[in-house]
Structure 1
């Protein structure tokens, strides 16, 4: 567990998360969390790119490999590259005893059960939850107040009930899908923490429906992509009531 390397982790000067696909989107949420809650510089690297370039890994760098299976070849290779350069290597995986789990210095298992479908779903939720807990853990050892940490933990505890409420909207979602099933191009937009959600939503539409979709930061629409909008093109906007809610409404 992470507690076995608590001192090294707490002294991290920089956090690099390396992943592919859905895990990369979860890691992007992690980047925002580490910087906001722990005030530690964080970044996300595509494992397939990280392993083939000459990455800067300094003393105090912590590399976190995120993978559902724990066998993603590029992520495993990126992890080994980071270890060779002296980084503290941590892993977040779902499959117990997987290659990444064995090669990391320490790590966390998701324990969300096997992914039955091709698309990663509950693993994504589990990865975001674990990264949130890690960011809180690190934040509490720096500047994050107990009150703020408890509020975040309560938010995590509320998620099952909130998911149940979302599932009550399945008939509405089915109606939207039926009305737009013939559309060949979709756009997903979000800001802040909702940008990785937009990326993941677009990926799920590609994987499950074989429909072209793109996820973008909402504010980037005016820098070129808006030229591709045509009449009837579905645009999915993730507009939760957070700090950037009024901004996203303006984009709509």
Structure 2
């Protein structure tokens, strides 16, 4: 098997995995929405799954007006209050076996937490068994170490849960549901549109050890996830930042040698500031084309060129994005 074949295949499978998750999880998502109603929500996960929790936080806040806070699973025991009655823990883990997520669930239960809703790709996993309600994503088996299709499937479940939760408040969101159903096609078209430019960008950044990815709003988590993919697969030190937070210190590191990838969304002022220091600027949604969709759903589309960039950069650096040597699929 050629290097990176699994990663590439799984990136290309994302539109179908997203659509299948939407069409197959309605029943459990509605049960989760019923359980959530009126409760404060803690969302958690590790690595890529934590980034999915952040996307869920924004979607639930904007679509369903729910109170949500996302905390990395390993930090749950240090940040949650001692009395967790009248709350929900929404736990993300593609494997359902992440040690930190399982510890977070145990802590939540021992401190009075009443409802655990999990989003996992693995039916019958430990997390599934520990949960009151499990939303099983339909991504199919993911063989590469770096998560791609399981991430966007988690986003599909998150968006659907946000809509169902809002509908429990007697909101009619048929238009929003229709927009969500169109996301797989937007993902598919984005894959076709962006690949040529992504290969060019990979050539531009492959020998530059440090870089940054900036995003705002719904795509702040996309910046974090894109940077993680480049670190995991390409051994490049990329960091993701909320766009304007980058101006509060990190911009000191910018030079003509540090690429800055910006997920464009009204961020021209930040782009102009970065260009003052002659940094190479790559705009997702600008010179790297993507299909424009509703802002709350855009992380599922905007992550695709960043995944493809990580894949192509890894290959150009002589690495295998399928199997980074220091990583495993499950952190125990």
Could you say if the C-alpha distance between residues 111 and 52 of structure 1 is closer, same or farther in structure 2, counting changes exceeding 3 Å? same
Task: Tell me which of the two structures has the higher relative contact order, counting C-alpha pairs closer than 8 angstroms and 6 or more residues apart.
Answer: 2
Counterparts of residues 102-251 of structure 1 (less than 5 Å): 102-142=129-169, 145-146=171-172, 149-168=173-192, 169-239=194-264, 245-246=265-266, 248-251=267-270
**CA distance, structure 2, for counterparts of residue 204 and residue 5 of structure 1:** 30
**CA distance, structure 1, for counterparts of residue 187 and residue 95 of structure 2:** 24
**CA distance, structure 2, for counterparts of residue 130 and residue 54 of structure 1:** 24
Aligned residue for 1:216, secondary structure, equals: strand
For the aligned residue pairs, the C-alpha RMSD in angstroms reads: 1.6
Could you say if the C-alpha distance between residues 125 and 176 of structure 1 is closer, same or farther in structure 2, counting changes exceeding 3 Å? same
Match of 2:36 in 1: 9
Could you tell me how far 1:83 is from its partner in structure 2? 1.8
* Partner of residue 28 from structure 1, selected from 50, 54, 65: 54
Aligned residue for 2:66, secondary structure, equals: coil
Q: Which runs of 4+ in 1 moved over 6 A?
A: none
Could you tell me how far 1:57 is from its partner in structure 2? 4.2
Q: Alpha-carbon deviations, 1:159-190, whole Å to 9, x = none?
A: 22212222222121111111221000010001
Could you tell me how far 1:85 is from its partner in structure 2? 2.2
Aligned residue for 1:187, secondary structure, equals: strand
Aligned residue for 1:232, secondary structure, equals: coil
**CA distance, structure 2, for counterparts of residue 55 and residue 73 of structure 1:** 21
Contact preservation (8 Å) 1:68, 1:123 = yes
Contact preservation (8 Å) 2:137, 2:154 = yes
**CA distance, structure 2, for counterparts of residue 225 and residue 56 of structure 1:** 35
TM-score (normalised: structure 1): 0.91
Could you say if the C-alpha distance between residues 162 and 8 of structure 1 is closer, same or farther in structure 2, counting changes exceeding 3 Å? closer
**CA distance, structure 1, for counterparts of residue 139 and residue 130 of structure 2:** 21
* Partner of residue 98 from structure 2, selected from 65, 68, 72: 72
Could you tell me how far 1:6 is from its partner in structure 2? 5.3
Gap runs ≥5 in structure 1: 240-244
Contact preservation (8 Å) 2:41, 2:88 = yes
TM-score (normalised: structure 2): 0.70
Aligned residue for 1:40, secondary structure, equals: coil
Match of 1:242 in 2: none
